[in-house]
Protein backbone atom coordinates (compact mmCIF):
# COMPACT_ATOMS: atom_id res chain seq x y z
CA UNK A 1 0.00 0.00 0.00
CA UNK A 2 1.45 3.38 -0.96
CA UNK A 3 1.04 6.65 0.95
CA UNK A 4 -2.06 7.71 -0.99
CA UNK A 5 -4.09 4.50 -0.84
CA UNK A 6 -6.37 3.59 2.02
CA UNK A 7 -6.77 0.19 3.60
CA UNK A 8 -10.15 -1.49 3.18
CA UNK A 9 -11.96 -2.92 6.20
CA UNK A 10 -12.42 -6.66 5.58
CA UNK A 11 -15.63 -6.64 7.63
CA UNK A 12 -17.68 -3.74 6.19
CA UNK A 13 -15.61 -3.42 2.97
CA UNK A 14 -15.44 0.40 3.30
CA UNK A 15 -12.12 2.26 3.01
CA UNK A 16 -10.32 3.04 6.27
CA UNK A 17 -9.08 6.63 6.09
CA UNK A 18 -5.83 7.27 7.93
CA UNK A 19 -7.71 9.69 10.19
CA UNK A 20 -10.39 7.11 11.13
CA UNK A 21 -10.38 5.23 14.41
CA UNK A 22 -8.99 1.79 13.60
CA UNK A 23 -7.47 -1.24 15.28
CA UNK A 24 -6.02 -4.66 14.64
CA UNK A 25 -8.26 -7.68 15.21
CA UNK A 26 -6.73 -11.07 16.00
CA UNK A 27 -8.64 -13.58 13.88
CA UNK A 28 -8.15 -16.10 16.69
CA UNK A 29 -8.37 -14.27 20.03
CA UNK A 30 -5.10 -14.06 21.94
CA UNK A 31 -6.70 -15.78 24.93
CA UNK A 32 -7.65 -18.71 22.69
CA UNK A 33 -4.21 -19.29 21.18
CA UNK A 34 -4.09 -16.49 18.63
CA UNK A 35 -1.15 -14.56 20.07
CA UNK A 36 1.23 -14.07 17.16
CA UNK A 37 -1.43 -15.27 14.72
CA UNK A 38 -2.97 -13.42 11.79
CA UNK A 39 -4.51 -10.00 12.34
CA UNK A 40 -6.63 -7.71 10.16
CA UNK A 41 -7.02 -3.94 10.26
CA UNK A 42 -10.62 -2.91 10.96
CA UNK A 43 -12.56 0.27 11.61
CA UNK A 44 -12.78 0.60 15.40
CA UNK A 45 -16.59 0.52 15.19
CA UNK A 46 -16.45 -2.80 13.30
CA UNK A 47 -13.98 -4.25 15.81
CA UNK A 48 -16.16 -3.14 18.72
CA UNK A 49 -19.23 -4.73 17.14
CA UNK A 50 -17.49 -8.09 16.72
CA UNK A 51 -16.50 -8.21 20.38
CA UNK A 52 -19.91 -6.96 21.55
CA UNK A 53 -21.74 -9.76 19.75
CA UNK A 54 -19.51 -12.81 20.08
CA UNK A 55 -17.58 -14.59 22.80
CA UNK A 56 -13.87 -15.30 22.49
CA UNK A 57 -14.71 -19.01 22.12
CA UNK A 58 -17.16 -18.33 19.25
CA UNK A 59 -14.59 -16.18 17.49
CA UNK A 60 -11.85 -18.80 17.84
CA UNK A 61 -14.02 -21.78 16.92
CA UNK A 62 -16.43 -20.52 14.26
CA UNK A 63 -15.68 -16.94 13.22
CA UNK A 64 -11.95 -16.84 12.56
CA UNK A 65 -11.99 -15.25 9.10
CA UNK A 66 -13.45 -11.98 7.80
CA UNK A 67 -15.62 -14.01 5.39
CA UNK A 68 -17.17 -16.05 8.21
CA UNK A 69 -17.82 -12.90 10.22
CA UNK A 70 -19.45 -11.12 7.25
CA UNK A 71 -21.66 -14.16 6.58
CA UNK A 72 -22.94 -14.43 10.17
CA UNK A 73 -26.62 -13.41 10.39
CA UNK A 74 -26.08 -11.57 13.70
CA UNK A 75 -23.88 -9.04 11.88
CA UNK A 76 -26.12 -8.54 8.83
CA UNK A 77 -28.06 -5.61 10.32
CA UNK A 78 -24.91 -3.88 11.53
CA UNK A 79 -23.15 -4.33 8.17
CA UNK A 80 -26.16 -2.95 6.30
CA UNK A 81 -26.37 0.01 8.69
CA UNK A 82 -22.65 0.86 8.71
CA UNK A 83 -22.42 0.59 4.91
CA UNK A 84 -24.53 3.77 4.74
CA UNK A 85 -22.09 5.70 6.96
CA UNK A 86 -19.02 7.63 5.79
CA UNK A 87 -15.73 5.67 5.96
CA UNK A 88 -14.46 7.68 8.95
CA UNK A 89 -17.70 7.32 10.97
CA UNK A 90 -17.44 6.16 14.57
CA UNK A 91 -19.90 5.81 17.43
CA UNK A 92 -20.37 3.53 20.38
CA UNK A 93 -21.27 -0.01 19.41
CA UNK A 94 -24.98 -0.71 19.25
CA UNK A 95 -24.31 -4.34 20.14
CA UNK A 96 -24.22 -3.76 23.89
CA UNK A 97 -21.95 -5.56 26.30
CA UNK A 98 -19.96 -8.60 25.30
CA UNK A 99 -21.54 -12.00 25.81
CA UNK A 100 -19.86 -14.07 28.51
pLDDT digits 0-9 by tens, 14-45: 999 999 999 999 999 999 998 999 999 999 99
Question: What is the model's pTM?
Answer: 0.86
Spatial distance between the Cα atoms of 46 and 4, rounded to a whole number of angstroms? 23
Rounded to the nearest 10°, the torsion over CA 48, 50, 53, 55 is -110
Cβ-contact 86, 12 below 8 angstroms: no
3-state percent helix, strand, coil for the chain, nearest multiple of 5:
35, 15, 50
**Domain residue ranges of the chain, discontinuous segments joined by +:** 7-83
Amino acid sequence: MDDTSEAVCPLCLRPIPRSARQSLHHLVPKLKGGKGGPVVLLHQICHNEIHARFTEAELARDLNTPEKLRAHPDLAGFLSWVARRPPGFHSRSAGGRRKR
